[in-house]
Every structure is written in structure tokens, then in C-alpha cells.
Amino acid sequence: MKAKSYAKVNIFLKIVGTRGDYHELISRFVLVKNLYDIVSFEEKETKGFELEGDFGCDTKENTIYKAYKLLCDLDKRVEIFFRSHKVTVQKQIPSFAGLGGGSSNAAVFITMANDAIGLGLSKKQMAELGKRVGADVPFFIHGYNSANVSGIGEIVEPFEEETLEFDIITPRIKCDTKEIYAVFRKRFLKHTDIAFAKKLASMKSKYIMENYEATEVNDLLKAALVVKPELKEYLQPGWFMSGSGSSFFRLKYMKEKHKNESHSKKQKSFSRF
């Protein structure tokens, strides 16, 4: 049994308030269908929970393991099933990159376990469970191609729009989400604009990316540049940072557009002489 675990990008991410230690947001999440991990359940002979994959953390800190423990508390059949089945993840989504790889893995694991063991959980129940693992997990549980996400990640509303393709680059820069949020709260929180966030939520993703700059639509970008100044090198026209970074993305056709614009400028320059 196996399933694809897709990455996501944040077309925009606006912080609109706080809830204790958490930050309330309004954001557009879009699945990236050409970048995914593969999560598999495979039979094994050894006892105990077994998780294989090239992860950037210890097993007990892994989102899949956290989801497993929550499911065990819910139904004893979960622990029994994973005595004879291991979880394998073929990783392609970079870690600590703002692409939601860990949250996506947890969501796919919960969904697969629900089906394989016959737990009978609804999407709403799985999303409630998933938000205890991570704020982005409910989005992946619902499986929408595009959605407006608000609250602290628990409110997921599908957004109808065309399917987009992206170019993505991930610098070898590890962004600590907690540190970036802490810098944002200390230095930039007072400048939040709820009205603008709601306006963005009504716009299609393609329109946003064609008409706004990265610094306008991602509140975490300025904080990320304080923590990791080297990110500025990747802040080029047409590129946007996803979440708290370090990945940058752009519409796939923009590469050709910029090349044509550059060629046109050279022709105009040449024609003057």
C-alpha cells in the first residue's frame, strides 16, 4: 500500500493576530503535484513501530511517529497493525524548506492508516487529529488543490482556480520556523493588515503572483531575511518564498516570459543605434 505525499507552496501568507504562543494567519495553500514523497506500508517480521526514510530529525520528533502515537491512543488496532507493517518514506521534498513535507507525510499516514485498518474516521475527524501534529496537516488531510487556510491552520476552505505549475528552488539554508516567527512577533507584528489579507484571499493565485511582490504577500519574508540574510540572493523578480522558507517558487511560464522580455529589451536597445 502506497500513496503520494505532495508538497505545497504558500501563494501568500499574512499574519493577522496571535492566540497564545500561536499565530493566526490567512494564507493560500496550493499543492505542488510534481514534487512529492511516497509513503508505503510494507509487511515486516520485526516487532514494534518501524519508520524508514531520509529524515532530518529523530524518529520520536517525526510527524509520522507523532501521528502514529495519537492513532494508538484512539484505537488499539493501530499498534497491532504496525507490529507487522513498517512505514517507508521515499523523500523528495526538502526538509526545513517551507514546503510542508512533514505535515504532508503525517496527513498521508493518517489517511492510509484509516483505510488500511478500517478506523472509520471522517475527514473532519482526521483533520482534528492532524492539527495536534502540526498546523499545516489539516490542509493535506482535505486534499484540496488550492485552499484558503486561516485560524492557526485549522480552517481550510477550498478555493476554485486553475491548476498551476511551479519552478521551485531550495537553497542549502536551514530556516528555523520557530525562530522566524519569534522575530516576526517581536519586530513586525504591529504592521499586520487584515483588510489586505482578506483581499488577497479573494484573488486567484496567478493574479497575485503577476501583480504583487514577494515582500508584499509573505509576512514572514522580512523576518526570514533578518534571521538568514543570505536568502536575499534568491529574492529575484517573479520569485516568492514559501512559508518561512527557505524555498522559492515562481510560475513555470515566467521563465520564458522573463527571457522574452530580456530579449525584447536587447532588441530595443540595439535599434537605437
To 10 degrees, the CA torsion angle through 23, 28, 29, 31?
-170
pTM score: 0.89
Instruction: Assess whether 8 carries a catalytic annotation.
Output: yes
DSSP assignment letter at 234:
G
Q: 125, 90, 126, 123: which is closest to 106 by C-alpha?
A: 126
Instruction: Assess whether 186 carries a catalytic annotation.
Output: no
- Report, in angstroms and rounded to the nearest whole number, the Rg of the chain calculated over CA atoms: 20
* CATH of range 2-254; options 3.40.1350.10, 3.30.230.10, 3.40.50.720, 3.20.20.150: 3.30.230.10
pLDDT in tens, the chain (273 residues): 999 999 999 999 999 998 888 899 999 999 999 999 999 999 998 888 999 999 878 888 999 999 999 999 999 999 999 999 999 999 999 988 999 999 999 999 999 999 999 999 999 999 999 999 999 999 999 999 999 999 999 999 999 999 999 999 999 999 999 999 999 999 998 777 899 999 999 999 999 999 999 999 999 999 999 999 999 999 999 999 999 999 999 999 765 554 554 444 333 333 232
Side-by-side strand order, sheet with 166-169: 166-169, 248-251, 240-241
Spatial CB neighbours of 116, under 8 Å, sequence gap ≥ 6: 1, 41, 81, 85
Indicate left, alpha or beta for 48 from its phi (over 0: left) and psi (-120 to 50: alpha). Answer: left
Residues 14, 198: Cα–Cα separation, whole Å? 9
Active-site pick, 37, 86, 131, 136: 136
Residues 146, 140: Cα–Cα separation, whole Å? 10
Q: Where are the domains of the chain?
A: 2-254
